[in-house]
Structure 1
Amino acid sequence: MPPEKNNVNPQENAWWFIIAKDQIVLQPQGNFIPYGNLDDLPFPEKLANNVIKIADYHSSPCYLVVLQEQLDIGLGEYLSLRSLLGRIDDLLFDLTGRAFQLALFYQTHQYCGKCGHKMHAINWETAMKCYHCQHRCYPRISPCIIVGIRKDKEILLAVHHRHLKQNNPVFTVLAGFVEAGETLETCVEREVYEESKIRVKNIEYVSSQPWPFPHSLMMGFLADYESGEIQIDKSELVEAAWYHIDNLPVLPNNGTIARKLINKMVEQGNTEI
């Protein structure tokens, strides 16, 4: 279960991340995340007594409330986390992702994976502990690479099975999970070759993005084409091809690290002499 409730000042304004059934309560305007104090918001008493502080944002605390069902609490509509992509600033999106990851963590670590006894939340850090065998668990974070590949003024883009939409496929860059004992650069080389049979060089780190679907950390790279002809891994990709920067297909939404990498390659291609 979540840690004991934080001491919430009922007259202090705060951000409220209310999650149930993999959806979050969002308001139709402004920052979307409900903001206000307990005295002014229509919180049922049982919700006000079951909150977890997860961070601060703009000098106000952020509280997570995990519900077992989608109760109508009069603050907004239950929507998916993806509906916020590109609509709020990066920090607030990352905090929303943190709320989802912590909600999942508390829900999936009720029992000890070592001895099977009941786990208990720790109040002084984000962790669950088994007092029978002293085993301690922290929120799972899965490292992933995502890489944009350049060849002159062309970009390698692919349609993944998970991104295939009827009559409107989304084309994106290649990505994959880091394996045990693997460097990020080695992972880039391996994933690109496994999915496309392309060899790359000049691997350059760009930036990272927490990706709470459900608990990844995406580390973005750019790389140059070195050799090979595209041969897709059909278990991962539907199709892949080189696209000129002036004639790109449907791309991922703004706010995703995939779109950031693509935009950066387009910008670089347009500034080359």
Structure 2
Amino acid sequence: MMIKQNESKLKAHKAMWVVFSRGKLLIQAQSQRIPVAYFNEIPFLHRYAEEVHQLPPLNDGATLENPVFVVDLGAEHVEQPGWERVPLRQLLVTEQDIAFSVIGRAWQYIHFLRTHQYCGQCGAKTERVEWEMAVQCHRCQHRSYPRVSPCIIVSIHDNKRLLLAKGVRHREANMYSTLAGFVESGESLEEAVHREVFEEVGVRVKNLRYFHSQPWPFPHSLMVGFIAEYDSGTIQCQENEIDDAQWFDVDALPNTPPSVSIAGQLIAETVSLIRDK
């Protein structure tokens, strides 16, 4: 749920401001951090006071020093000296302590509101539900909630090496990572692991072990992580999806994702498992 705030209440709080302009975040130039300030200290905010919503904290035991306010400028681009637009991924990596609990969740909500302005059942204009994160059509009463798309992500090892792949989208960055894919309708998480691994690199796996999960806001995925042992097969890369896949020694790993991502955490955990054997 995001709670709409009036301007008088906004002025009373020093807050963290997550301001979206198209698909980017607005921050103070060269700061690389979400701004923490009073409402009046950010000169352009008064024009969007009616569009400010508070992001409630997650019930995970973590606490933030300041409340979090979210503003969507839509397609508008603020021309304000000292402020710049930066890619979402850039701050997700930089702000490791709050990235996925604040920035990522805020973007998923904004994406939901942008893509649910009209009812998917009858086409009428929707309205926001103030007491929960939803929109509702007052013509047919259809209510919609933010979409969550489950994805599996899996690290594969043979007790000595890791199987890592470079996707076609990461060709220029030359980054190797774990395998991942969306869960299909009617499919269990474990079935998705076996299917995706065989489709992408042509091998079979066994002894799946759940690792943990992570929301991934591009735009609304929930990554469910597993570690699996190699069973059989020879690497055969899926055309148009995998540029290259290889077995890597734990002491000679290629360029891999940062530790803030579940992919980076899976790789680090698998390396530890192999070294402990």
Large movers: runs of 4+ above 4 Å:
28-31
- Cα distance between partner residues in 1 of 2:266 and 2:95: 19
Looking at structure 2, the residues matched to 49 and 74 of structure 1 have their Cα atoms a distance apart, in angstroms, of 23
**1:134 offset after TM fit, Å?**
0.8
Q: Does the Cα contact within 8 Å between 1:126 and 1:139 map onto a contact in 2?
A: yes
Return the letter of the residue paired with 2:5: N
Give, in whole Å, the separation in 2 of the partners of 1:53 and 1:74. Answer: 26
Q: Deviations over 1:35-67 (max 9, x none)?
A: 111133323422223201112451422111000
1:85-112 Cα shifts (integer Å, max 9, x gaps): 4322344433101111111111111111
| Residue number among 92, 103, 108 corresponding to 1:101 in the alignment | 108
Q: CA shift at 1:75, angstroms?
A: 6.1
The alignment status of 1:163 with 2:158, answered yes or no, reads no
Q: State the partner residue of 1:35.
A: 36
Unaligned runs of 5+ in 1: none
| 1:62 aligns to 2:85 (yes or no) | no
Deviation at 1:235, TM superposition (A): 2.4
Aligned to 1:171, what secondary structure does the other structure show?
coil
Tell me which amino acid in the other structure corresponds to 2:200: E
**Following superposition of structure 1 onto structure 2, how do residues 239-250 of structure 1 map, counting pairs within 5 Å?**
239-250=244-255
Alignment of 1:62-81 (within 5 A): 62-68=68-74, 69-73=76-80, 76-81=83-88
Residues 230-269 of structure 1: pairs in structure 2 closer than 5 A: 230-269=235-274
Pair 257,28 (structure 1): closer, same or farther in 2 beyond 3 Å = farther
CA drift of 1:141 comes to 0.9
8 Å CA contact 1:54, 1:99 repeated in 2: yes
State the distance in 1 between where 2:3 and 2:257 align. Answer: 40
Matched residue, 1:46: 47
Structure 2 distance, partners of 1:268, 1:28, is: 42
Task: Give the whole-Å Cα distance in 1 for the aligned partners of 2:259 and 2:2.
Answer: 35
User: Is 1:271 the equivalent of 2:276?
Assistant: yes
**1:171-209, Cα deviation, whole Å (9 max, x unpaired):** 111000011111111111111111112111110111111
Determine helix, strand or coil for the equivalent of 1:193.
helix
Q: Which amino acid aligns with 2:35?
A: P
Distance 1:43 1:88 in 2: 24
**Aligned with 1:131 (options 125, 132, 138):** 138
Corresponding residue SS for 1:239:
strand
Shift of 1:242: 0.8
Pick one of 128, 148, 153 that aligns with 1:146: 153
CA-atom RMSD, angstroms? 2.0
SS in 1 for 2:271: helix
Corresponding residue for residue 206 of structure 1 = 211
**Is the partner of 2:10 in helix, strand or coil?**
coil
CA–CA separation in structure 1 for the residues paired with 2:241 and 2:12: 51
For residue 186 of structure 2, what is the aligned residue in structure 1?
Answer: 181
Q: Contact conserved, 1:55 with 1:95, CA < 8 A, in 2?
A: no
2:5 corresponds in structure 1 to: 6
How far residue 210 of structure 1 moved from its aligned partner, in angstroms, is 0.7
Match of 1:242, SS state, is strand
The separation in 2 between residues aligned to 1:119 and 1:159, in whole angstroms, is 42
Change over 3 Å in CA distance of 1:207–1:3 after alignment to 2: closer
CA distance in 2, matches of 1:154, 1:271: 13
Q: How much identity, in percent, do the aligned residues show?
A: 42
SS at match of 2:206: strand
How many angstroms apart in 2 are the aligned matches of 1:253 and 1:28? 24
- Tell me the residue number matched to 1:15: 16
The CA distance in 1 between the partners of 2:125 and 2:93, in whole Å, is: 40
Distance of aligned partners of 1:175 and 1:127 in 2 relative to their CA distance in 1, 3 Å threshold: same
Asked whether the 8 Å contact 2:100–2:215 carries over to 1, the reply is no
Change (3 A) 1:45 1:64: same
Displacement, 1:253?
2.2
TM-score w.r.t. the length of structure 1 is 0.92
Change (3 A) 1:239 1:46: same
Give the Cα–Cα distance (whole angstroms) in 1 for the partners of residues 2 and 27 of structure 2.
Answer: 24
